[in-house]
């Protein structure tokens, strides 16, 4: 220590601090710049550039680059310890540094042909980004926009909570109104007052500048008003009640109802393609609620979850299909209808779930992930295997599964199927919610927290764990059965490991242990890539980034359960 002090007297402490901050700014700017160049090279920027947020003014590519600069500005602002003036300078430096990488890319592209390696790096990629300005104008634009973005990011972070939240709402509203313009325009095609709203906000290609401003202002004001209302309520209500377990009902039910309304109304106004997407989303919501019982409540990590989905689907197919593989074809069993087969499919999945749980009862932690992964793969391999081919149809699957009927009418329209699934989702959600608050739900939480202590308090681990696997599997079996009827066929390739990973990812993004979180996660991870088709190519990149971002900034998930929120957000005392 003393030697360090004696050898460093030449450096003024404040100056060394400034130098340290400068390095920080340069480093943050470089990371943002490299990410931008990477996005350009692999083609993300090109795809984003084609999606207009505000017609003729802003593409998603701009938004992407601007938020990159903003993120690095915010980072530098929070990390820097220097005086305000120095911090501002550092933020600007970081922003310029991030822009510099793209300038370098322009220069490089002007002199070297990189397209043999990166097909996305065409000259019109950047030309559209810089509004057809030349190399010099473009460079200035990149550097300036980088600096501006960084300042905006720092500002946003530096603002107090209320205005920040309102700004975020406003910007999100513009982004949503712009990116989802097709859907919203379809939704706004009805009737007089709404149609005029549409012409006010949109031209046929997308959101107008005027529309963007209106969207921003509206969201901003709504957020502000909500905040005022909330504060008023809090002041009136006084401190929270004591000695009651959290008022689950009030907080969770309200949010669930809100989400539900969106789920019901949205496909109705947005057309049948959205209906199909929402159908898929609701199947994943069903699975998510099942896996939530296993992972979110009981803490039993399960990477073989897709097996139960497969069991449900195959049971439905075997019992109802009009095919040589159907049980009715070669046994004396009658061919069942959708409604008769459904409980059997759920039951079969539950049984497999319990069987599945048995071998991993004593397995804990990381090993559980590996063990369940293996079990899930066993099911998939069995289905594809030659041995099972005479029964399950091998890779060709089972065709001609009938669609569900209600009162003799076949539900062919995807919209009708969606609403049918929605009813199942509702029932399942009610069941999941009641289970969560029950004696069994508490036992699951206890097992998740400390298995040994739970057992020493008289909780039967075997029973509770098997119930978690069985009930979780029941949800997946239900989803699988509906899936088979929806597609009117089952193929083994629908049941890959990726399904399990998708379900787990949507749970984590939405918030482990939270029912509304399951819906949010499914909308984001399953619905969004389907709606924004062009992003489908980068789907897993998107997953990865989203997971990292959520883990970093909201480890409790986007819509956490109240309990989990407290758990993650509050520091551990004692």
Partner 1 sequence: MAVASEKTRSAYAPAGLKPMITQTIATEHFNKRQGAAPVLLRTVDLSMRFGGLTALDRVSIDVHQGVIHSVIGPNGAGKTTLFNCVMQGHRISSGDIQLAGERLIGLTPDKVAAAGIARTYQNIRLFTGITAIENLLVGMHRHLKSRWWEAVLASSRCRHDEEKAHAEAREILKFVGLAGRGDTLARHLSYGDQRRLEIGRALCTRPKLLMLDEPTAGMNPREITEMMIFIRRVREAFGLTIVLIEHQMRLVMEVSDKVTVLDHGVKIAEGDPAYVKSNSAVIEAYLGHAAQRQEHPA
Considering only 121, 440, 499, 509, the residue that binds partner 1 (CB under 8 A) is 440
Is-contact 297 445, C-beta < 8 A? yes
CB of 336 to partner 1, least distance (A): 24
Number of residues that bind partner 1 (CB under 8 A): 41
Q: Answer positive or negative: Cα dihedral of 345, 347, 351, 356.
A: positive
Report DSSP state, residue 296. I
For residues 95 and 101, give the distance between their C-alpha atoms in angstroms, rounded to a whole number. Answer: 11
Cβ-contact 190, 236 below 8 angstroms: no
Residue of the chain from 459, 503, 515, 523 that contacts partner 1 (CB under 8 A): 459
Q: Where are the alpha helices (DSSP H) in 394-413?
A: none
Say whether residue 455 binds partner 1 (CB under 8 A): yes
Does position 205 interact with partner 1 (CB under 8 A)? The reply is no
CB 22 within 8 A of CB 81: no
DSSP character for 396? G
Binding status of residue 102 toward partner 1 by CB under 8 A: no
- Range in contact with partner 1 (rule: CB under 8 A) among 194-202, 249-257, 366-374, 427-435: 427-435
Q: C-beta of 341: minimal distance to partner 1 in Å?
A: 22
Burial of 533 (0-12, 13-18, 19+ CB in 10 A): exposed
Q: Are 120 and 42 in contact (CB under 8 A)?
A: yes
Site mask, partner 1, residues 535-574, x = CB under 8 A?
A: ----------------------------xx-xx--x-xxx
Burial of 97 (0-12, 13-18, 19+ CB in 10 A): buried
Instruction: Give the angle 539-544-546 at the CA atoms, nearest 5°.
Output: 90
Q: Taking the complex as a whole, how short is the minimal distance between the CB of residue 171 and partner 1, in angstroms? A: 34
Distance CA 201, CA 179 (A): 13
DSSP readout, 376-422? HHHHHHHHHSSTTHHHH-GGG-EE-PPPPEETTEE--SHHHHHHHHH
List CB contacts of 489: < 8 A, sequence separation 6 or more: 317, 397, 398, 399, 400, 401
Residue of 177, 383, 420, 446 interacting with partner 1 (CB under 8 A): 446
Closest separation in Å from C-beta 446 to partner 1 = 5
Question: Any contact of residue 431 with partner 1 (CB under 8 A)?
Answer: yes
Q: Among 368, 303, 356, 347, which Cα is nearest to 469's?
A: 356
For partner 1, the binding residues in 214-253 under the rule CB under 8 A are 240-246
Closest distance to partner 1 from the beta carbon of 255 (Å)? 20
**CB of 561 closer than 8 Å to CB of 568:** no
Rounded to whole angstroms, the Cα distance separating 476 from 316 reads: 13
Q: What's the distance, Cα to Cα, between the start and end of the chain in Å?
A: 33
- The site map against partner 1 for 341-380 (x = CB under 8 A) is ----------------------------------------
Which of the residues 139 through 178 are near partner 1 (CB under 8 A)? none
460 binds partner 1 (CB under 8 A): yes
364, 447 in Cβ contact below 8 A? no
Cβ-based nearer residue to partner 1, 416 or 442: 442
The window from 82-90, 164-172, 223-231, 458-466 that contacts partner 1 (CB under 8 A) reads 458-466
Asked if 465 and 300 count as a contact pair (C-beta separation under 8 A), the reply is yes
Residue closer to partner 1, measured from CB, 151 or 467: 467
Range in contact with partner 1 (rule: CB under 8 A) among 164-172, 183-191, 405-413, 454-462: 454-462
**Among 60, 313, 467, 508, contact with partner 1 (rule: CB under 8 A):** 467
**Beta bridge mates, 202:** 207
User: What is the nearest approach in angstroms of partner 1 to the Cβ of residue 538?
Assistant: 36
- Whole-angstrom Cα distance, residue 490 to residue 304? 18
- For 570, the 3-state DSSP assignment is coil
Interface with partner 1, residue 423, by CB under 8 A: no
Residue among 457, 498, 548, 551 that touches partner 1 (CB under 8 A): 457
* Residue of the chain from 450, 493, 498, 545 that contacts partner 1 (CB under 8 A): 450
**Least gap, CB of 303 to partner 1 (angstroms):** 23
Biggest CA-to-CA distance, the chain: 95
Contact with partner 1 (CB under 8 A) among 449, 493, 498, 551: 449
Tell me the CB-side half-sphere exposure of residue 359, using CA atoms within 13 A: 13
Closest CB 570 distance from partner 1, rounded Å: 7
Residue closer to partner 1 by CB (options 313, 435) is: 435
437 binds partner 1 (CB under 8 A): yes
Contact residues for partner 1, defined by CB under 8 A: 240-246, 431, 434-435, 437-443, 445-446, 449-450, 452-461, 467, 471, 563-564, 566-567, 570, 572-574
């Amino acid at each position: 220590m003393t030697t360090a002090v004696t050898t460093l007297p030449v450096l003024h402490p404040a100056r060394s601090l400034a130098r340290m901050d400068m390095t920080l700014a340069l480093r943050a700017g470089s990371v943002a710049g490299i990410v931008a160049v990477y996005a350009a090279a692999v083609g993300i920027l090109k795809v984003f550039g084609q999606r207009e947020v505000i017609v003729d003014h802003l593409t998603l590519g701009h938004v992407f680059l601007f938020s990159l600069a903003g993120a690095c500005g915010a980072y530098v602002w929070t990390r820097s310890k220097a005086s305000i003036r120095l911090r501002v300078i550092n933020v600007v430096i970081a922003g310029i540094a991030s822009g510099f990488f793209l300038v370098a890319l322009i220069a490089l592209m002007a002199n070297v042909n990189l397209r043999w390696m990166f097909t996305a790096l065409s000259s019109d990629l950047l030309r559209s980004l810089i509004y057809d300005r030349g190399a010099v104008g473009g460079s200035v634009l990149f550097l300036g926009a980088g600096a501006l973005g960084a300042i905006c990011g720092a500002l946003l972070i530096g603002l107090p909570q209320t205005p920040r939240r309102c700004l975020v709402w406003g910007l999100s509203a513009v982004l949503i109104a712009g990116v989802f313009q097709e859907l919203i325009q379809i939704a706004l095609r009805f009737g007089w007052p709404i149609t005029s709203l549409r012409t006010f906000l949109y031209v046929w290609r997308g959101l107008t500048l005027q529309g963007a401003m209106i969207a921003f202002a509206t969201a901003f004001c709504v957020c502000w008003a909500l905040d005022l209302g909330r504060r008023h309520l809090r002041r009136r209500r006084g401190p929270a009640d004591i000695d009651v377990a959290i008022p689950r009902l009030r907080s969770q039910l309200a949010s669930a109802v809100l989400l539900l309304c969106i789920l019901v109304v949205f496909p109705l106004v947005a057309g049948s393609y959205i209906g199909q997407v929402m159908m898929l989303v609701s199947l994943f919501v069903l699975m998510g609620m099942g896996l939530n019982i296993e992972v979110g409540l009981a803490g039993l990590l399960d990477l073989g979850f897709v097996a139960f989905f497969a069991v449900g689907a195959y049971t439905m197919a075997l019992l109802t299909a009009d095919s040589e593989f159907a049980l009715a074809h070669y046994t004396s069993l009658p061919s069942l209808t959708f409604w008769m087969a459904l409980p059997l499919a759920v039951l079969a999945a539950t049984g497999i779930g319990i069987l599945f749980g048995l071998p991993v009862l004593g397995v804990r932690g990381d090993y559980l992930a590996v063990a369940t992964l293996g079990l899930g793969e066993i099911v998939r391999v069995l289905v594809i295997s030659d041995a099972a081919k005479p029964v399950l149809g091998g890779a060709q699957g089972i065709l001609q599964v009938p669609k569900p009927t209600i009162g003799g009418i076949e539900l062919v329209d995807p919209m009708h199927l969606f609403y049918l699934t929605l009813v199942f989702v509702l029932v399942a959600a009610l069941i999941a919610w009641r289970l969560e608050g029950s004696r069994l739900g508490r036992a699951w939480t206890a097992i998740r927290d400390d298995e040994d202590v739970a057992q020493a308090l008289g909780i039967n681990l075997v029973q509770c764990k098997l119930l978690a696997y069985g009930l979780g599997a029941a949800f997946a079996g239900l989803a699988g059965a509906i899936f088979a009827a929806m597609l009117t066929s089952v193929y083994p390739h629908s049941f890959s490991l990726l399904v399990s990973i998708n379900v787990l990812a949507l749970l984590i993004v939405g918030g482990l242990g939270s029912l509304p979180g399951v819906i949010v996660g499914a909308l984001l991870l399953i619905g969004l890539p389907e709606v924004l088709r062009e992003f489908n190519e980068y789907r897993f990149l998107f997953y990865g980034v989203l997971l990292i971002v959520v883990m970093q900034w909201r480890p409790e998930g986007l819509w956490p359960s109240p309990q989990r929120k407290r758990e993650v957000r509050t520091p551990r005392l004692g």
